[in-house]
Amino acid sequence: MKHGALLLLAVLPVAGQQTPTAVREKATFGTLDLGYRWTSTVPGDFATYRSVVNLQEGFRVRGLDFHSSDSSRRLYDRLTFFADSWGDPYNTARLDTERSGAWRLRFDYRNIDYYNFLPSFANPGLEQGSLVNQRSFDIRRRFFDAELRLRPGKRVSPYVGFSRDSGYGRGITPFVTNGNEYPVGTTLRDQTNNYRGGVDLEFRRWHLTLEQGGTHFKDDQLVFTADRNLGNRRLPLLGQNLFLSQATQAYGARGESVYSRGIFTAAPIDAVNLYAQFQFSQPKTDIRYTEGGRGLFYLGATRFFNALESLASGEAKQPHTSAAFSAEVRLHPRIRIFESVFTDRLHNASSLLLVQQLFFAASPAESERIFTPDRLVMNYNRQQAELFVDVTTKITLRGGHRYEWGDAQLRAPSLAPVPNPQTGELKRHVALAGVNFRALKKLVFNVDYEGGDAERSYFRTSLHDYHQLRGRATIQALTSLQLLANFLLLDNENPTPGAGYDLRNLAGGLSLRWTPGGGRRLSFLGDYTRSRLRSDIFFRSLPFLERADSFYRDNAHTATGIFELALPSRHKVVVPRLSLGGTLLRSSGSRPARYYQPYGRFLVPFSEHVSAYAEWRWYGLTQPFYTFEGFRTHHLLFGLKLSL
């Protein structure tokens, strides 16, 4: 009884003393960056400015990040949210939240406003003074992806997901007829939905992912114009001036596919790692196309017609199988072998039915019906073996061999002398080598080499007989000074008769980071790249298929530098900072250009949680060969940054 009383007194609270209660821990922190951009007028070509910069005036949410954790686990354990550049052409958002061991939800969103209207691009009438780009776009692309995973981190973890990639907008496209092309306005809209579900099986020695999914795709394009259009041909054809007075085009494609995917990884013993992946899909596409035109068009010989109507429908199926297998074997603590095999096989069976009717001014209408079955077969295989040897604990050598082979078959083009199906082959041997050097405390570098020798290749511009060398080095010259150097050389040649292609790309750069005293008062970040590109190839020039040579050259200097200085302040935490720098590009060759973007930023903290800033940027572009595409403008951005 005595011991029981003592035990009771030990657990009873003392008079006047409060019993401690359980405290629910909840941590929340984040930052919010708000700003307003003011832009000056844009002397020069505004369409080029939108194609290159495309930043407009107005209020912006430049950045937002929010983090929250709840130890009570009533709704979640952890929640994070990020958003960036809302109000600008490219903005993103991401949400990630979970309850440990129960579920995890992830959501990702991206938006891109894409504008491209360079007057010198895809413009056959440039020499006649036309500034109409007939392959231009003003579209918006949106992508979002959501995934819900149950029992994350457990041995059996099922999941479901959905993603959508969509786009819509306007542009310019050519209405093509014999002897002329007419740039006309078009509206674009497409959407792809992807539904998926699967399960992850995670065990000590192996992992397996099984996934089943399906996609649904649609693509619509509409052209309509009632304006008189003389097209790209301004000279009479056989004494007649071709023109377009009215045109309509409607293109619609619908597709769907079901796919299966599996990924397997295993480590049966400590010295062996295995990886395998398999995927099969069978997409199906249906296409409908209608076309109508009024004007004066050329048929051939000495015949002209005044109107046309076309109706086309087609369908295609494409079974597609791909598989990969790789293994890493450690023969010795310093010797590793890596072997991989990949295969990709598809065949496309399709058919097209075209019904066309032509109307003449002084003769009866003519009709034409065309049915064309098509088939594409493509097989690609790759086998690669590599040997890694740790010569010392700080030096690793790599050597290997890659063999690529495949075959393809498709319908011959209409200009081919023989209408039989054309076949292509790929056979290429590639030598691999490399070294990773970490022998010095202040110097680390690695060099990788590839050398290819192809007997055959699919395309004239494919890698054929090539040499590629990459190098990267990091030098810690001082405690406060770090240098990073990189180098790239690609030399590719296709000596096959009738190909005549030669490419050489050379680039080297140096980056510098200087942070005396840990960068508390002063820091500098600089980067310089020197690049040279040469491409030579011949082609056949229309309409008589005469040989013509294309020579492209580009020699460029690119540099970026930013100084950041902490200004004197009585407060050790709240320190104003000034940043000055910018970016420049100077290139010469086939399309010389000068691009400058100086930059200045002044940050004034009012407290540990509130700061204001002002930014200035100047954008300037000039092109000696295309002076009409230059522009220049000033941007001022005033912002407020808040933190919790």
Query: What's the angle, vertex CA 358, arms to CA 352 and CA 361, rounded to 5?
Result: 175
Average pLDDT over residues 287-299: 95
- At which residue do the structure tokens 């939905």 appear? 193
What's the pLDDT at 126? 78
Name the residue among 221, 190, 101 with its Cα closest to residue 154: 101
Torsional sign, CA 587, 588, 591, 594:
positive
- Residue 436 domain flag: yes
CA–CA separation, 580 and 564 (whole Å): 7
Average pLDDT over residues 304-329: 95
CA–CA separation, 535 and 457 (whole Å): 18
- Residue 4 domain flag: no
Dihedral over alpha carbons 236, 241, 242, 244 (to 10 degrees) = 150
Average pLDDT over residues 309-313: 95
Does residue 6 come out as left (phi exceeding 0), alpha (psi in the -120 to 50 range) or beta? alpha
DSSP string, 307-369: EEEEEEEEEEE--EEEEEEEEEEEEETTEEEEEEEEEEEEEEEEEEEEEEEEE-SSS--EEEE
CA–CA separation, 42 and 25 (whole Å): 53
Q: Above 60 in pLDDT, residue 403? A: yes
Q: If DSSP codes are grouped into helix, strand and coil, which group holds residue 45?
A: coil
Name the residue among 116, 46, 51, 53 with its Cα closest to residue 88: 53
What's the pLDDT at 15? 41
Residues contacting 393, CB < 8 A, separation 6+ = none
Average pLDDT over residues 339-343: 97
Q: If DSSP codes are grouped into helix, strand and coil, which group holds residue 436?
A: strand
- Residue 447 domain flag: yes
CA–CA separation, 215 and 256 (whole Å): 5
Q: pLDDT-based confidence at 3, cuts 50/70/90?
A: very low
Q: Above 50 in pLDDT, residue 360? A: yes
CA–CA separation, 186 and 248 (whole Å): 10
Q: What is the pLDDT of residues 476-533, one digit of tens each?
A: 988 899 999 999 999 999 988 878 899 999 999 999 999 998 888 899 999 999 999 9
Provide the domain count of the chain. 1
CA–CA separation, 362 and 500 (whole Å): 49
Average pLDDT over residues 277-302: 94
Average pLDDT over residues 391-401: 94
Are 106 and 96 a contacting pair, CB within 8 Å? Answer: yes
- Residue 457 domain flag: yes
- Residue 254 domain flag: yes
Q: Could you tell me the CATH number of the domain that includes residue 163?
A: 2.40.170
- Residue 3 domain flag: no
Residue 279, both tokens: 């995927």
Q: What is the pLDDT of residues 256-275, one digit of tens each?
A: 999 999 999 999 999 999 99
Question: For all residues of the chain together, what is the average pLDDT?
Answer: 90
CA–CA separation, 125 and 139 (whole Å): 24
Q: Which domain holds residue 286?
A: 25-643
Compare 412 and 353 and report the one with higher pLDDT: 353
Q: Above 60 in pLDDT, residue 155? A: yes
- Residue 86 domain flag: yes
Compare 460 and 543 and report the one with higher pLDDT: 460
Q: What percent of the chain has pLDDT over 70?
A: 93
Name the residue among 637, 634, 555 with its Cα closest to residue 596: 634
Lowest model confidence (mean pLDDT) among 316-325, 417-426, 441-450, 494-503: 417-426
Q: What is the pTM of this model?
A: 0.86
DSSP secondary structure code for residue 516 in this structure: G
- Residue 374 domain flag: yes
Q: Please give the span between the terminal C-alpha atoms of the chain, in angstroms, as a whole number.
A: 56
Q: Above 80 in pLDDT, residue 415? A: no
